[in-house]
A and B are shown apart, each in its own frame.
Chain A
Amino acid sequence: MNRLRFWFLLPAWVWIVFLFIAPLVIVCAYSLLTRGTYGGVELPWTLESYARILDPLYGAILLRSIAIAASATALCLVLAFPLALFISRSKRHKNLYLHLVILPFWTSFLVRTYAWLFLLRDTGLFNTVLTGTGVIRAPLSLLYNDAAVLIGLVYGFLPFMVLPLFATLERMDPSLLEAAADLGARPWAAFFRVIVPLSKAGIWAGTVLVFVPCLGAYLTPDLLGGGKAVMVGNLVQNQFTTARDWPFGSAISITLMLLATMALALFNWRAPKEML
Chain B
Amino acid sequence: MSPSLAARNNQAAGTGRGLGVYAALAYAFLHLPLVTLIVFSFNASRFTLWEGFSLRWYRAVFTDPEMADAAWTSVVVAIVSTAISTIVGTLAAYALWKRRSRLLSGSLYLSLVTPEIVTGVSLLALFQWAFRWLNWQLGLYTVILAHVSFSIAYVAIVVSARLRTLDPALEEAAMDLGATEWRAFLRVTLPSLMPGIVAAALLALTISFDDYVITSLVAGVDSTTLPMVIYAMARRGANPSINAISTLIVVIFGAIILISERMRET
Contact = CB atoms under 8 A, between A and B. Distances in A.
Contact of B34 (A15, A24, A107): A107
A115 B92 contact: no
Contacts of B12: 181, 187
Interface stretch (A2-10, A48-56, A197-205): A2-10
Interface string A207-220: 00000110111110
A209 B258 CA distance: 23
A102 interface: yes
B238 interface: yes
A276 B113 CA distance: 13
A117 B250 contact: no
A74 interface: no
B141 interface: no
Contact of A19 (B31, B96, B104, B123): B123
Main SS of chain B's interface residues? helix
B108 interface: yes
B19 A82 contact: yes
Nearest to B181: A4
Interface in A165-192: 181, 186-187
Interface residues of B, number: 87
Interface residues of A, number: 83
Interface in A69-94: 79, 82-83, 85-87, 89
Interface in B116-169: 116-126, 129, 145-146, 148-149, 152, 156
Contacts, number: 245
Nearest to A24: B122
A23, A128, A213, A217 — which one has the most chain B CB atoms within 10 A of its CB?
Answer: A23
Interface of B: 8, 11-12, 15-16, 19-20, 22-23, 26-27, 29-31, 33-34, 36-37, 40, 47-49, 87-89, 91-92, 94-96, 98-99, 101, 104, 107-111, 113-126, 129, 145-146, 148-149, 152, 156, 181-182, 185, 203, 206, 209-210, 212-213, 217, 227, 230-231, 234-235, 237-238, 242-243, 246, 249-250, 253-254, 257-258, 261
Given A21-B107, A26-B122, 6 more contacts: A16-B152, A79-B29, A86-B20, A108-B249, A118-B242, A264-B110
29 contacts: A1-B181, A4-B181, A7-B91, A9-B96, A11-B87, A12-B89, A15-B149, A16-B152, A20-B119, A23-B126, A30-B125, A82-B23, A89-B16, A100-B27, A103-B258, A106-B257, A107-B257, A115-B33, A118-B36, A125-B36, A132-B49, A181-B12, A187-B15, A223-B235, A240-B121, A253-B117, A253-B121, A256-B117, A260-B110
